[in-house]
Chain A
Amino acid sequence: MSEDLTQVNSKESSDESKYAASARAFRDNVSRDLANDELRANFRGAMDYLMAKRKDAFSSQDELEMLRYQCKLIKQRCLAKLPYLLEELEQKLEQNGIKVHWAETITEANEIIAQLIAQKNGKSVVKGKSMVSEETALNDYLEQRDVECLESDMGEYIVQMANQHPSHIIMPAIHQNKQQVAKLFADNIDDFSYDTDVDVLIQQGRKVLRDKFCQADVGISGVNFAVAETGTLCLVENEGNGRMCTTVPDLHIAITGIEKVIEKLNDVPPLLSLLTRSATGQAISTYFNMITSARKKGEKDGPKEVHLVLLDNGRSQAFADEELRQTLQCIRCGACMNHCPVYTRIGGHAYGTVYPGPIGKMISPHMLGLEATSDLPSASTLCGACGEVCPVEIPIPRILLRLRKENVKPKNQQPQIMKGQGAGRSSVEAFIWQVWAFVHKSPTLYALSMWGLTRFRFFMPKKLGPWTSVRTAPKPAAMTLHERVKAQKAKQLQAAQKRRV
């Protein structure tokens, strides 16, 4: 498995994630998925469930708001120190015997992991849940190199079997109902006949995967918190597959984004408490797994080698702008998408990006460039339901507004903050807003345009494009408020004068 290094170093078009193409197809995806009644019912049910669970977990509004504020400050402090914490993390991990690798692009990350596996002649990988590995499309990369890569998180296992991507960052198969899963299993697993009993389905998954945990050469996982103070990788899970992947195979490779590093061990409890309660309404996940080294002398199990891959892939672009840096506060709880009316209706796949929903709208432009994601910043009413529940107080509507600004800036305007600046700019729209501003900042021109609107209101077209495909058009009034007020004042003045006479 000897790859040409030059291939890896070319960071341009060959590095483009497969998600760039699916993200570009946003409008078509939305059209398709809005028409899928079963999908919409699945999402409505799932979001209602998750919103209710979260609400029940936060009985004290006081505690919730104080905890959110505290966690925002923790993440902001860690981001303010990011490069130094990354250095400290690396130093501590390596002291503990865990090797640290850095990757700027998704191809670099994949190549590093592929090489680490090849060095051990690894042929079968079992994967714990890792959204970052979805981001790099690691499974595809490894499979092209004859390494079998099996997802072990139940949701991911289902999605992999269906040849799909996760549609939610916490519950990957949320877009399917149990009938669909039952059919999927029946179609793909020998000796399994259609059964919608969820326990039966889960036990089937358990049986297959238990074998894999036992046989796999390599376990790959994500990381929820990487603690710099102690050089510790923390993993949150309910199923136990994370522990399996990080304990049983001889080689454990963890991959995560550079923004996941936390300064101190005691930063973990508040973040953990908000993460699990915001995500699924649980006080804590079934397992909280803290890994500080590989198998030590005298120990009977655990991986003999542990590696961590730190991925940039656009995060440093967000970091470089103070306002956009807040995007990196995200702890991947999923509450934003659970509360989003747009996500609820279009589902996770329509976005075409690895991360859907509000967080997806904020982070995907950095990962894929605005060229591929120019429809995303505007695909929100800015209702703010997401910002209200974000455990680390990311001002999501504000950031979306900022992304809209970057999206319509002239392409060559300096300074260039984002790759793909101006991708959403249309000279027609820009002209319309220029005219609009010209009129609206001048009281005279505004009055004139309003006069025209009201006096010619009967000529207003009944068809106003997409607005009137589901609504009747509003009709301008006969007189503007300006005119009504003016007329009333004149009348009052007249009446006052009459009284004086």
Chain B
Amino acid sequence: MTTPSNTKINKISSNARTSILAKLKAQVSGADYAKLPKEIPYDYPLLTHPEHIEQFVGHLEANHAQVIKTHETDIAKVIKAQLEQRNISSLLCGENSLSGEFIVPLKTDINLQAYDFSIDGNKEMLFNECPAALSNSRCAIAATGSIVLWPDSDEPRSLSLVPPIHFVIVDAEKIYADFATLMTEQQWQSKLPTNVVLISGPSKTADIQQTLAYGAHGPKELIVLLLNS
């Protein structure tokens, strides 16, 4: 769109681009990259699968996440109990998880709400009327206790961000040793989605006199339902 404003910033940007690239290229054009030294990554010790699970859970709990080892058939029961403890009776989920057989039993006691709307025009509702949310996860990382989400149209980005309580289902069979291994095995470089987020605990900050406080802006609570462990 060519508005006067657009033209203006395009001009600034294009002049700057020409100038900056010229300055940088003057230094390195013709450089022989074959001469760069060899890079050797550190060889991390290989752990067993049970050790990975232990490492994963250990990190999350140290970061104040709650980890509940459970089975698919018990998901509804666990969530119901956790919500009741907190006097919460509604849960926001992805559109398709609503029809998932493991969630359906919740319908009787909990107001299950599908994220079947656009955030446009619904921000106030999302921010003020959704006390808890449930999402799945793509996989997880043991070395840092991280849960990997690839948000999509079914489970949008704000689902795992805005509601103050986030329930996330993690399959222990999908725990990778570390981030580098995960990225390489799944060939991320060829297919990154709009957004990827690694979640390693509830939101926190130590900005006031280095004193840890939880629930800064993201969810105050992260409740991990760990399957197949």
Contacts and interface: CB of A to CB of B under 8 A. Distances in A.
Direct contact of A and B (CB under 8 A): yes
Interface of A: 2-3, 5, 8, 42, 45-46, 49-50, 63, 66-67, 70, 73-74, 76-77, 80-83, 86-87, 100-104, 108, 111-112, 115-116, 118-119, 152-155, 158, 171-174, 176-178, 181, 198-199, 201-203, 205-206, 209-210, 213-215, 229-230, 232, 238-241, 243-244, 247-248, 250, 258, 264-266, 268-270, 272-273, 280, 283-296, 298-302, 310, 312, 316, 319-320
Nearest to A316: B23
Given A116-B9, A299-B194, A319 B156 contact: no
Contact of A302 (B25, B29, B39, B195): B195
A388 to B, nearest CB: 19
Nearest to B55: A283
Contact of A198 (B24, B202, B211): B211
Contact of B152 (A172, A285, A286, A299): A299
A247 B31 CA distance: 40
A67 B39 contact: no
A295 B144 contact: no
B196 A178 contact: no
Interface string B212-224: 0111111100000
Nearest to A241: B217
B46 interface: no
Lowest 8 A-B CB distances belong to which pairs? A240-B218, A155-B207, A239-B216, A83-B24, A301-B119, A284-B144, A240-B217, A288-B198
B143 interface: yes
A294 B210 CA distance: 35
B195 A103 contact: no
Nearest to A111: B12
Interface string B38-52: 011110100000000
A292 B27 contact: no
B4 A301 contact: no
Contact of B21 (A83, A111, A285): A83
B179 A287 contact: no
Query: Chain A: interface secondary structure?
Result: helix
Given A83-B25, A102-B13, A291-B194, A198 B209 contact: yes
A238 B202 CA distance: 9
Contact of B40 (A66, A76, A119): A66
A100 B202 CA distance: 33
A154 B214 CA distance: 12
B201 to A, nearest CB: 5
B100 interface: no
Contacts of B21: 83, 86-87
Given A73-B39, A178-B208, A287-B198, A239 B115 contact: no
Contacts of A293: 194
B63 A286 contact: yes
B3 interface: yes
Given A198-B213, A283-B145, A243 B161 contact: yes
B207 A213 contact: no
A250 B118 CA distance: 12
A247 B126 CA distance: 13
Given A66-B42, A247-B157, A288-B146, A265 B210 contact: no
B118 A301 contact: yes
Given A203-B215, A266-B184, A287-B198, A86 B156 contact: no
A55 to B, nearest CB: 15
Nearest to B210: A49
A247 B161 contact: yes
Given A80-B28, A258-B20, A292-B194, 5 more contacts: A77-B36, A102-B17, A154-B216, A215-B123, A301-B118
A301 B158 contact: yes
A102 B10 CA distance: 9
B98 interface: no
B109 interface: no
B210 A287 contact: no
Interface string B118-141: 111001100100000000000000
B20 A104 contact: yes
B189 A266 contact: yes
B197 A5 contact: no
A370 B33 CA distance: 33
Contact of A101 (B13, B42, B183): B13
A250 B121 CA distance: 11
Given A103-B12, A248-B123, A266-B184, A238 B156 contact: no
Interface string B59-97: 100010000000000000000000000000000000000
A298 B153 contact: yes
Given A119-B3, A272-B179, A287-B218, A80 B207 contact: no
A214 B119 CA distance: 10
B31 A103 contact: no
A155 B208 CA distance: 7
A81 B32 CA distance: 10
B193 to A, nearest CB: 7
A71 to B, nearest CB: 9
Contacts of B209: 42, 45-46, 176-178, 181, 198
A158 B205 CA distance: 13
B13 A112 contact: yes
B107 interface: no
